Structure 1
Amino acid sequence: MKRLFAAMLVGTAVMATPAAAQDDLGNVQVKLLGTAVLPDGKITAVNVDTVGLPVGTQTEANDNVVPTLAIEYFLSDSFSVETICCMTEHDVDAVAGLPGAELVADAKLIPATITGKAHFDLGGAKPYVGAGVTYFLWVDVDPGAATVPLGVTDTDLSDEFGFVLQAGMDVPLNDKGFGLTLDAKKYFVGTTARWYAGNTLAIETEHDLDPWVLSAGVSYRF
C-alpha cells in the first residue's frame, strides 16, 4: 500500500497544471479525507506476567480505514500548521506464541496530532513536508476474547506522546479553492498494555505502535 501511495503522488504531480494556481486564496484549508491507519503493535518488553505467556509471544494490531477531517492554517504561502480530527478502532492479536488469540478488542484511539508543514510550488502541484507531535488518547479498550477465560476483567492501554513525520501533495482543481490532496504520516509512539484480573495486574507489556497513516481526499481553501 505504501508503494501504491508513492505512485499516486508521482502521478498526481504529472497531471497537475499551472492554470490551477491558488496563491491569492485565504489562509485556512479544510480537508475531508479517507485514511488508512496501519499500526504495528509489537511487544518490546514484558514487565509483568503472572499467567505464563508462551516464550516468544508477539502481537500485531489490525489495520483500519476511517474518515478524517484536517484543518490547516497558512502563516505564509510556504508554511502552515495543521491538525487532524479522527477516531480509529483496532484489535490486537497474537501472531506468535498464541497465534490468532485476540488479546485486545475494539480499542478506540484519538490520535491528536499537530504538524508544521513547509510547502513547495511546482506550478500546479504543491508538495509539502512536515513534522510535529502527537498524543495517542485511548478512549475505550475491551479485553480480547482469548483473555476472558483466563479471568481478565479489564484491559488498559496507556496514553502517550510521540512524534510524527509527514509528506504529501496538494493539487488545486480550480481558482475557487477546491483541490485534491494526498498525505502520508509516519508516527513514532508506543503504549503500555495492562490486563487485570479483578484488581490484580496479571500482564503488563510495552508495545511499539509506530503506524503509517495514509490519506487521500478533497480540500477547500478559503
Structure 2
Amino acid sequence: MRKPLLALLTLALAAPFAPLAQAHTAGDIIIRGGAATVDPHEDSSRISTTATGAIGDTSAGVDSSTQLGLTGTYMFTDHLGIELLAATPFSHDISVSGLDAALGAANGTFDGSFADAKQLPPTLSLQYYPLDSQSKVQPYVGAGLNYTLFFDEGLTSRQKTNGFSNLELDDSFGLALQAGMDVMLTDNILVNAAVWYIDIDTQATAEHSALGKVKVDVDIDPWVYMVGLGYKF
C-alpha cells in the first residue's frame, strides 16, 4: 500500500499551492490516464494432474505488470459518478513450484517460469466524492464489478519440451473497491492517484503427455495502482 498512499499524500500536500479551480459538478466527464501497475497477491491451490491427483507442496504464482491505464467518469450529481477502468493489455509471467520435488526427473524439470498470459480488467464502479463541488481537492471512494479477460496464453519453450500443451486460463468476474484523489490544476486539468483492490480468480488447465490433464486454481486478487493526469470536459 505504500505506493498509492505516498502518491495521495503528495497530492494532498501540493493542493494548497495549486491555483484556484472549479472541481467536479453534475454533467462533467473526466478522463484520466497514467501508469497502472497490477500487483497480484495470489494464493493458489495445489497443482493436480489426472495421473497423480493433487500434489502436495505445489503452487502457481503470477508476477506484476505495468501498462497504460485509462479511466472515464461521468458525474451524474456533484457527489456521485460512474467510472469505467480500462488499460492496454497487461502481460504476466506464470511460475510453478514444488513439481520437481514431487515428481522427480522422470517427467522433466518443471519448477520456475511456466507460461505467460495477457489480460484486460475492465471495471465499472460507482464513485462517491464527499467534498463540496467547488473544492479543488477531490478524494473519492468507489465500488463496482470487474470482468477480467485472459488471452494469448503461451507456455515457455522448456515446458513445451517437457510435454505440456493447450494452456487455458478461465476468465474472471468479481467485486472491486477503489480509493483515489484528484487535484485540480486548472478548471480542466487535474493530477490523479488511485488504487483498486480487485477480486480476480482463475483456473489454469493444460495437457501433459504423461500426466494427463493438469490444473490449478489461483486467487490473483491484485492491488492496482495508477498515477497520472486527467482532463475534465
TM-score for both structures, normalised by structure 1: 0.88
CA distance in 2, matches of 1:110, 1:51: 33
- Pairing 1:194–2:194 present: no
From 93, 100, 113, the equivalent of 1:102 is 113
CA distance in 2, matches of 1:81, 1:156: 33
Contact persistence 1:141–1:157 (CA under 8 A): yes
- Gaps of at least 5 residues in structure 1 are none
The aligned runs of 1:6-25 (5 Å cut-off) are 6-17=5-16, 19-23=20-24
The structure 1 segments of at least 4 consecutive aligned residues displaced by more than 2 Å after TM superposition are 20-26, 44-55, 94-100, 120-124, 144-147
* Cα deviations by residue, 1:132-190 (Å, 9 ceiling, x for unpaired): 00111112101234432331121000012011000010110012x10000000001120
CA change 1:167–1:96 in 2 (3 A) is: farther
* Cα deviations by residue, 1:63-84 (Å, 9 ceiling, x for unpaired): 1110012111111110101112
Three-state SS of the structure 2 residue aligned to 1:20 is coil
Partner in structure 2 of residue 64 of structure 1:
65
RMSD: 2.4
Partner in structure 1 of residue 219 of structure 2:
208
Partner in structure 2 of residue 166 of structure 1:
178
CA distance in 1, matches of 2:126, 2:15: 24
% identical aligned pairs? 25
Partner in structure 1 of residue 90 of structure 2:
88
Contact persistence 2:15–2:137 (CA under 8 A): yes
Amino acid at match of 2:7: M
TM-score for both structures, normalised by structure 2: 0.84
From 129, 148, 161, the equivalent of 1:119 is 129
Contact persistence 2:48–2:54 (CA under 8 A): no
Higher strand proportion: 1
CA change 1:74–1:25 in 2 (3 A) is: closer
Amino acid at match of 1:89: S
Q: Alpha-carbon deviation of 1:20?
A: 2.4
Contact persistence 2:3–2:225 (CA under 8 A): no
